[in-house]
Every structure is written in structure tokens, then in C-alpha cells.
Amino acid sequence: MKKFLLFLLISVCCSAQSVLPEEKAALIRLYNDAGGEGWAIPWDTDAEPSEWYGITTEDGHVTEIKLNSNNLKGRLPSLAALTKLKTLYLNANNLGGDLPQLPPTLRALDIRENSFTGDISLVAGSLTNLTELNLGGNALSASSFSFLQNSPLMASLDLSGFGLKEIPEPLGRLSSLEILNLSGNEIRDFSALAKLSSLKELDLSGNQLAKVPNEASALKSLEILNLSQNKITDFSALHSLSGLQWLSLAENELKAAPAELGALKDLAHLDMSGNRLENFQILGRLKNLQLLNLDRNELSAIPAEVAELPRLQYLSLIGNQLSGEIPQNLPDIVQLQNNRYSLNEIKNFHSARRSFTDIAYSPQRYDETETVAAREGGEATLKQSLPTDVYKISWLKNLDEYTGVSTKNFQLGSIKKTDFADYTAEAYYLETSGGGYFELSLFREPVTLADGALGTEEADASFAVYPNPASDYLHIRCGGERLESAVIFDQSGRAIIKTDSISVSVAALPAGVYTILIKTEGTVRSFKFIKK
């Protein structure tokens, strides 16, 4: 019995073994060099490393570092002392500079969405055990991609935003590769793609493609394909991808759902948001479709073909121009926000669908965009059409600053220079009965108070972002100028979303205040907005 207790005590002591001093020192240097005091979740350096956030240890060695999205800043110090490190996740931070040499024991390296520079081939060449390598969203280069052939077990690879013109030939030798992200490149030579027979997930978004690459038709194992943010007109290669389950054709300037979709009998998820769709006839053949996204398509009515989808569970129609009677034969989960439905239209639909709780319809938009010219020192009236005896009205300046004005119309006197801005009104409705309640927010389309002394040309070139607050999509009005880019920053100043679309999805952002920087051909402007 004593021997057993002694053995048990020794086992417990071994399991609680401290990390080797040189490995703890390497972690503390990482903490200091990467601004640990400012991390979202900092470390208590007096405690054992096994208790630190994102650190996994085994037998006195550090085996995993997972500090993604933790506000790391600065340069990454050497981690060579971590001789058993298998996983290093540092994605979505603010690290920069050249990468140091990394332990050859690494199996998973994720440094996406940082500001690393330098030649990745000088570092990755010694990492022969990699199964996961995610490098996108940095300023890295590669004098050669031959290092890829040193990792024959590579299963996941992200080379997004690498400036690639062709798929590197060594990439085609990764016979175990299942996930490949090549988004944000300008690839024209896809010859190596056809060799990736194990590929299950492929991202070619943002490659300025005019056609689906012919080589994609050889990917018989492909289940997920992202072709968003291109200008594709030739979809013939989709015919051979009968096993495809998830497909995004978002932001391709489509006017009709491609006929080739009819061959995708297993398709369960289809995203065609951000197009200009008018013809939906082929949708009726997608009998296994469960999720359909038609956001931002300028639709004025819900397509009748949607009712022909027997397995559809989720339908998103956010940011269209929908109004009128809402059909009752919609799936259980419906997103109707940011359209132009009236209170009565929403209430009628809500009453008939009371048993379903996953119908999202707030906010809606009403009235039309308008510019009101005035002069400094003068007066102006900003109008909205909804009555104050039904709705609680709140006027907002710059779309995010509550003015304290709750009257139907907003009267401004002795106008100051700082009053020239974009305004909106939130009309809030609340009804309670029988222990339940119904609420709806409607936002007036922006009305711009413009300096009449500037002349009509400049007044008409008003800018706006709306609705504000936003829950799903933020829309940009550029006053007739072409949008070149829009960048959303969090409160720390970190760029978190970059786009050239006038409708930006902010659904994944945590609630808070953000800044959007808008660049057009003629100017650069910034606005603050609230994410609800």
C-alpha cells in the first residue's frame, strides 16, 4: 500500500512538473516583446506557464501557443527554445517584422491577419512536419515555394493576398491537402490545381476571375467552394462538381442564377448576396438546399422559386428593397432586416408566424435620401414622415450621435458649421400584450444638411453610412463618386475589415463603436458607427 501511495505521489508530482526554465524565459520574452500588459487576456507571470492563457504544456515542455485575437503588438522573438512546440496560433493580432526561426517540431502555424514581412521560404524550409500553414493577410513574400514539398502531410494551406499570378508548382504535389485558401490574389494559371485530388475546400474569392477555372472540374472531392468577389460569367466547370455542398457566388455582378447550379444535387448552402439577380428559375431544382443568402440584390419582391425548396431552413434577404405583403410559406429562419417593410406589413407577418421565433425584421428603412441646403447662421427643417403618437422618434447626427431631439421634424436655428452633417431618425415601436411584446425600429434614409454656400455640386456629393447603429450590414453613400476602398477600424486603431463594396457585412463584429475610412476618387472621409 505504501509503495502504491509513493507511486501515486510521484505521478502527481510529475504531472505538475514545472516548465523548463529556458522555455519559461522564452515565453516571458514573448510576453514583454509583444506588449503583454496590453493583451486582451494578459498573463500572471508569477504563476506557472501551464496556467497562462493560450499555453499548453506536457512533461515540462510547451506544446501549444494559441494567442489568436489577443492584441499582441510588436515583433515576434525567437521561440527556438521551445523544442517540443507543435502548435503556434497568432492570427488576428498586430505583430510585424520578419519572422524568427521557429522550432522544426511545429505541425500547425497560423499567423494570418498580422503585418509580418520578409521571405517566408527562409523560415518555413526547416518546418518539415507541418500539416497546417496559414500565412494570409500579411506582407510576406516567397523567393521560392519549394519549401512546400518538405511538408508532404500538409492538409491546410492559406496563401491569401500573396500577390500570386499562378499556383506554385510545388503546391500541386501536396497530395494530402484538403483546405486551400488562395483568395485575394490575381491567379491566371491554375494548372497545378488539377493535381489536388484530396481537396475538399477551396477559396478563390477576390481573384478577378471571369470564369471558373477548368482545372476545378477535376476536384471530385470538393465540398466547399468560395468564388465570391469576382466577375465570373462562365460557370461551365461547375458541372463536374456534383459533390459540392457549399458554394458562394457573392458579389459577382450576376443578373441570373447560373444554369450550371442545376447539376449540384447535393448543394445545401448557396450564397448569392451582393449581386443584381432578376432570374431565379434554376433555384427550383436545388431540392437539397438548406441555406440561401440573397442579401443586397436590390430585390423588390421575394422570389416565388424560394417556395419550391422543400428542405430550405434559412433564408436571408437583408439589405434589399422589399416591401408589401410578406409570404407565409417561408422557412423557419428568415432574415428580413434593412428592407422597406412598413409596420403593418411586419405585424401581419409576425402575427401569422407567432409560433416561429427566428424571424428577424428590425430595423427597416423608410422615406428617401434627401439633401437640405442651408447657410451658416440660418435655419432649416429636417423632415420624416412617421407620427409621434405611434412611434418614439430619436434624431441622430452623423448617424451615430443622439441629438436629444424627439420631435417629428428636426428644427435647426442659428446653424453652425458643425451642424452640416448627415442625419437620420430612428422610429421605435413597442407593443406589449399578454405577457409578450412586439418591437420594431425603422430608420429614415439619411438626410444631409449641406452648406448652401458650397454650391449644388458639392452639396450633392454628400457622404453617408447607414443605418447607424448597424446590426448586419453598413451601407455607404458616396454622393456620386466611385468608391475605391473602405476600411473599418476598431477602437485600438486596428484595421479589421477591408472592402470595395458599398455594402459591408458587420454581423460578425462585437457590439461597440467603430470607425470606417472611405476613399473615393476625389476624397477620403471617416465616420464613426455603432455595431449593435
* More confident: 294 or 489: 294
140 and 237 fall within a common domain:
no
pLDDT digits (tens, 9 = 90+) for 70-92: 999 999 999 999 999 999 999 99
79 and 133 fall within a common domain:
yes
* More confident: 163 or 452: 163
18 and 166 fall within a common domain:
yes
412 and 470 fall within a common domain:
no
204 and 346 fall within a common domain:
yes
> CA 244, CA 268: separation in Å to the nearest integer?
8
Nearest to 249 by CA among 216, 289, 294: 294
483 and 448 fall within a common domain:
no
The pTM of the full predicted model, rounded to 2 decimals, is 0.80
Nearest to 70 by CA among 91, 51, 50: 91
Q: Which whole number is the average pLDDT over 170-198?
A: 96
Nearest to 190 by CA among 210, 170, 165, 162: 165
Query: Which range (3-7, 101-105, 290-294, 512-516) has the least confidence?
Result: 3-7
Q: Which residue reads 447607424 in cell numbers?
A: 468
Which of 457, 486, 513 corresponds to the end of one domain? 457
pLDDT at residue 202, as a whole number: 99
Which of 152, 185, 218 corresponds to the end of one domain? 185
Nearest to 94 by CA among 384, 476, 489: 489
168 and 39 fall within a common domain:
yes
At 42, phi and psi to the nearest 5? -75, 170
259 and 353 fall within a common domain:
yes
Q: Which residue reads 506536457 in cell numbers?
A: 58
> CA 56, CA 63: separation in Å to the nearest integer?
6
Q: What are the E-state strand segments in 321-463?
A: 333-335, 359-360, 364-366, 370-374, 380-382, 392-397, 401-402, 410-412, 422-433, 436-444, 447-451
Q: Are 471 and 363 contacting, i.e. CB atoms less than 8 angstroms apart? A: yes
Q: Which residue reads 439633401 in cell numbers?
A: 371
How do the residues of the chain divide into helix, strand and coil, expressed in percent and rounded to 5? Answer: 20, 30, 50
Q: Are 262 and 240 contacting, i.e. CB atoms less than 8 angstroms apart? A: no
Exposed, middle or buried, 433 (CB in 10 Å: 0-12/13-18/19+)?
A: exposed
Which of 433, 457, 481 corresponds to the end of one domain? 457
CA dihedral in degrees (164, 165, 169, 174; nearest 10)?
A: 50
Q: Which whole number is the average pLDDT over 406-420?
A: 95
Q: Which residue reads 429562419 in cell numbers?
A: 333
CA distances (Å), 246 to each of 12, 259, 331, in order?
48, 17, 19
The one-letter amino acid code at 140 reads L
Query: Which range (68-82, 453-467, 493-507) has the least confidence?
Result: 453-467
Q: Are 31 and 45 contacting, i.e. CB atoms less than 8 angstroms apart? A: yes
241 and 382 fall within a common domain:
no
159 and 208 fall within a common domain:
no
> CA 452, CA 216: separation in Å to the nearest integer?
56
What sign does the dihedral 386-387-388-391 (CA atoms) show? negative
> CA 318, CA 338: separation in Å to the nearest integer?
6
Q: What is the CATH number of the domain that holds 135?
A: 3.80.10.10
pLDDT digits (tens, 9 = 90+) for 218-277: 999 999 999 999 999 999 999 999 999 999 999 999 999 999 999 999 999 999 999 999
Q: What is the CATH number of the domain that holds 410?
A: 2.60.40.10
pLDDT digits (tens, 9 = 90+) for 430-439: 998 877 788 9
29 and 169 fall within a common domain:
yes
Q: How far is CA 372 from the centre of its chain?
A: 35
357 and 395 fall within a common domain:
no
Q: Which whole number is the average pLDDT over 181-206?
A: 97
pLDDT digits (tens, 9 = 90+) for 296-309: 998 999 999 998 89
Q: What percent of the chain has pLDDT over 70?
A: 93
Range of the domain at 123: 12-185
CA atoms within 13 A on the CB side of 160: 21
> CA 391, CA 428: separation in Å to the nearest integer?
5
- Neighbouring residues of 106: CB distance < 8 A, sequence distance ≥ 6: 85, 86, 87, 88, 127, 129, 130
Q: Which whole number is the average pLDDT over 342-358?
A: 80
Number of domains in the chain: 4
At 501, phi and psi to the nearest 5? -95, 145
Whether the per-residue pLDDT at 1 is higher than 70: the answer is no
> CA 282, CA 128: separation in Å to the nearest integer?
47
Whether 3 is in a domain gets the answer no
